[in-house]
Amino acid sequence: MEREIVSDKQGITLVVLFIIGSSSIQVSGLKAENDFWLAIILAIFMSLPLALIFARILSIFPGNNLFDVIEICFGKFIGKGLVIVFTIFIFEEGAELLTNVGQFIIISSLTETSLALVMLFVVILAIWVIKLGIEVLARWSELFVIVLSAFVIISVSLLTPDMDINNVLPVLDKGIKPVLFGAFEVLIFPLAQTFTFTMLFSNFQKKSSPYRIYIMGCLIGGIILFIVSVNGLLVLGADEASNVYYPSYEAIKRMNIGGFIQRVEIIIAIIFILGGFVKASIYLIATSIGVTRIFNFKDYRFIVVPVAALMLNLAYFEFENIIHFFRFSEVWYFYVFPFLILLPIIIWIVAEIKKKRLQRRALK
């Protein structure tokens, strides 16, 4: 299979856009209420050890992605089983993301449009870019992350008159437990989801590249996530933010500067859609690479279309409506915890042991 190389800068921007993707308007961790901002900060610090583990998995056996590392460490039989499990998991995650993006587009603007048609548009765009290769998606992300950062700065500045500092006070009014639970949610969605990149990346410019990409990507993405999310909390307050599907979008809708600058929520909607497109593309690439590994194909590109078609079908039939989707989201954190936290740690430990054994054999 062809090994594609992205630069450190491109890798970082991909990770940043992946983090901001669907989380730019769908906020997690609001169970921390007024201390939501503390939960995000804690989650960012908690994500750094995970980022080091993800980077280390890619560094132990250079030139190999997660699926390669799994088969090296666990053998053909168990390894193949784990590859199948991770491929199915990422496939389902991609379908859920498509549902989220599609439902948002319908609710925010195209209320009379079919959900299937909206998701089909996103899928076609993703297929087109993936056919050109990961490097093309990475180069595009370099430009878009600048636009995203500029909008975050502008929107925060313009919403300042609508912010109320009392919405984040008093600090730790209900103790540390809600903060810990909120941090857990933010860690899972979206920071730990960056584990997906271990399935894509294999070749790097330098030995230190995986660490730089993951650490810088998580820090920058986490900071932007903090700014966008706390922006919504300061404008709406914890109670109202918890009662709407897309808090950041609702906060931007309130922007009204002298009756001249208003109705700019379309900008954050576009950012969310484009960010969701990047995230959907990453999931689609990872799933295709996994299928390629399972059936020993040479290139993942030629199966992108059938995989995308199956993902689109699952996205359309998996949830009845947006209410069903968000009810599932309440237990989703515990469902994905083993895939994003436990199994990566196990794989890392086994890979370290395997590497030492191979080194000992080489010395004999």
pLDDT of residue 6: 82
Residue with tokens 């549902």: 99
> What is the rounded distance in angstroms from the CA atom of residue 74 to the CA atom of residue 349?
12
Greater model confidence, 39 or 298 = 39
Q: Cα angle vertex 93, ends 89, 97, to 5°? A: 170
Q: What does residue 262 show for φ and ψ, rounded to 5 degrees?
A: -155, 170
Work out the pLDDT band at 262, boundaries 50, 70, 90: low
pLDDT of residue 261: 57
Q: What is the pLDDT of residues 24-34, one digit of tens each?
A: 777 888 889 89
Q: What is the pLDDT of residues 314-359, one digit of tens each?
A: 999 988 888 888 889 889 999 999 999 999 999 999 999 999 998 8
Per the DSSP assignment, residues forming a β-bridge with 257 are 261
> What is the rounded distance in angstroms from the CA atom of residue 341 to the CA atom of residue 336?
8
pLDDT of residue 259: 58
Query: Of 343, 357, 359, 362, which is closest to residue 86 (Cα–Cα)?
Result: 343
> What is the rounded distance in angstroms from the CA atom of residue 124 to the CA atom of residue 136?
16
The answer to whether 43 and 172 have CB atoms below 8 angstroms apart is no
The answer to whether 195 and 187 have CB atoms below 8 angstroms apart is no
Q: What is the pLDDT of residues 199-252, one digit of tens each?
A: 998 888 888 999 999 999 999 999 988 988 888 888 888 888 888 888 888 887
**Residue 36, both tokens:** 């939501």
For residue 48, give the amino acid letter. L
> What is the rounded distance in angstroms from the CA atom of residue 293 to the CA atom of residue 291?
5
Q: For the chain, how big is the Rg over CA atoms in Å?
A: 20
Work out the pLDDT band at 171, boundaries 50, 70, 90: confident
Work out the pLDDT band at 12, boundaries 50, 70, 90: very high
Helix spans in the chain (H): 8-20, 36-60, 66-108, 115-132, 134-159, 177-188, 209-236, 238-242, 247-253, 265-295, 304-318, 322-337, 343-363
> What is the rounded distance in angstroms from the CA atom of residue 148 to the CA atom of residue 265?
14
> What is the rounded distance in angstroms from the CA atom of residue 292 to the CA atom of residue 302?
10
Q: 216: which residues sit within 8 A by CB, 6+ positions away?
A: 12, 15
Taking residues 125-139, report their average pLDDT.
88
**Residue 125, both tokens:** 């765009």
The answer to whether 49 and 251 have CB atoms below 8 angstroms apart is no
> What is the rounded distance in angstroms from the CA atom of residue 158 to the CA atom of residue 354?
54
Taking residues 263-283, report their average pLDDT.
80
How does strand 256-257 pair with strand 261-262?
Answer: antiparallel
Helix, strand, or coil (residue 145): helix
**Residue 304, both tokens:** 């992108």
Q: Name all domains of the chain by residue range, CATH numbers in brackets.
A: 8-345 (1.20.1740.10)
> What is the rounded distance in angstroms from the CA atom of residue 119 to the CA atom of residue 325?
15
Average pLDDT of the chain, as a whole number: 88
Work out the pLDDT band at 177, boundaries 50, 70, 90: very high
Maximum alpha-carbon separation in the chain: 78
